[in-house]
Amino acid sequence: MGKDRTAERTGRKLTFWQRFTGRQKAAAAAIGTAFLGAIGVGLATWLIRGAETATEKLLEINNPPDAPLIVSVAEPGTYVSAHVYAPYYIVPKSEVASPAELPDAEAADEATFFDSSWAQQHGAVAGSPQIVRLEIRARGDEPVTVTAIRATVATRAEPIDGWYVASPGCGVEPIRTAVIDLDQPTPKVLFIDDGGSPAPLALSVTRTDLELVELQASSERSTVDWVAEVFYSGPEGDGSITLSDDGRPFRVSSESASDGYRFGFVDETSPPTLQREPSWDTNGITAC
């Protein structure tokens, strides 16, 4: 994301990886789940109960001091994602009825709608797919192997009735990616290496030799609270680290119940303006 998001994407040719992304759901079904699965039944049961005290206890284990691995979640807006239109944010109509209700200066600036701070102030939720960028490194010089990334759903609800602004582009640079289908009872995850090909997940990291992995978690029909878990094998044995959004599960909503907008040109002499995109209502957001 970030304020230079559109500039970095516009005008580039579509790469092989981006062509693959356009059909990732079909590929995910074919790849299967040999290296991924649900977090254990005990954790899933605990999540569904939604006990706040239990949530706090679970999320306290993020990066426990005795783990040989450190996993950091990058702050939204500090990177450009490896996706043709995400991240974007869905604003509930109960918070702001439409972009027309915004101050003129906000509505005229495309960067407004991709600012995570602005989104939080307006009760917005990440649109599908939600982008979570991970930085993974070892605490010490001994190599640690990342063996799996798994996801589990905490809660499901109806998609948000809102509106959003998207800015589809082409040809972003790929990184290692885990594409997560949250609509499955057991979320399926397709891992794509940094060359753009599906591959099993087996990353070796040290203190100085780190890896970046981007999670792209999607739902076509729901608002989903979910958590992720990174599994590792280190010098002292195996373990895992649970990931959160500043102490809460991640949350993503399908855009299917919301109105889509994009910036476009009315004519060659006018600046770009925010325009309704009704084709996305039935076809979903399209790019390239």
CA angle 128, 117, 51 (to 5 degrees): 65
Q: Are 192 and 229 in contact, with CB atoms under 8 Å apart?
A: no
Instruction: Give the residue among 185, 183, 179, 224 at the shortest CA–CA distance from 197.
Output: 179
Q: Quick check: 108 pLDDT over 80?
A: yes
* Portion of the chain with pLDDT greater than 90, in percent: 62
Q: Quick check: 25 pLDDT over 70?
A: no
Q: Are 149 and 213 in contact, with CB atoms under 8 Å apart?
A: yes
Q: Are 85 and 288 in contact, with CB atoms under 8 Å apart?
A: no
The two beta strands, 237-243 and 162-165, are: unpaired
The whole-angstrom separation of Cα 147 and Cα 89 is 31
- Measure Cα distances from 241 to 69, 238, 284 in Å: 8, 11, 34
The whole-angstrom separation of Cα 113 and Cα 119 is 7
Question: What pTM does this model have?
Answer: 0.77
Q: 146 versus 194: which is more confidently predicted?
A: 146
Q: Are 221 and 183 in contact, with CB atoms under 8 Å apart?
A: yes
Q: Quick check: 98 pLDDT over 70?
A: yes
The secondary structure of 133-159 as a DSSP string is EEEEEESSSS-EEEEEEEEEEEEEEPP
The whole-angstrom separation of Cα 168 and Cα 101 is 24
Q: Quick check: 46 pLDDT over 70?
A: no
Q: pLDDT at position 260, please?
A: 98
pLDDT band at 62 (very low <50, low <70, confident <90, very high): low
* Portion of the chain with pLDDT greater than 70, in percent: 78
Q: According to the per-residue pLDDT averaged within each range, which of 4-8, 21-25, 60-64, 127-131 is highest?
A: 127-131
Using the CB atoms, write b or e for 232-243: b if 16+ within 10 Å. bbbeeeebbbbb
Q: pLDDT at position 170, please?
A: 85
Instruction: Give the residue among 241, 227, 238 at the shortest CA–CA distance from 60.
Output: 241
Q: Are 31 and 201 in contact, with CB atoms under 8 Å apart?
A: no
pLDDT band at 144 (very low <50, low <70, confident <90, very high): very high
Q: Quick check: 56 pLDDT over 70?
A: no
Q: 26 versus 284: which is more confidently predicted?
A: 284
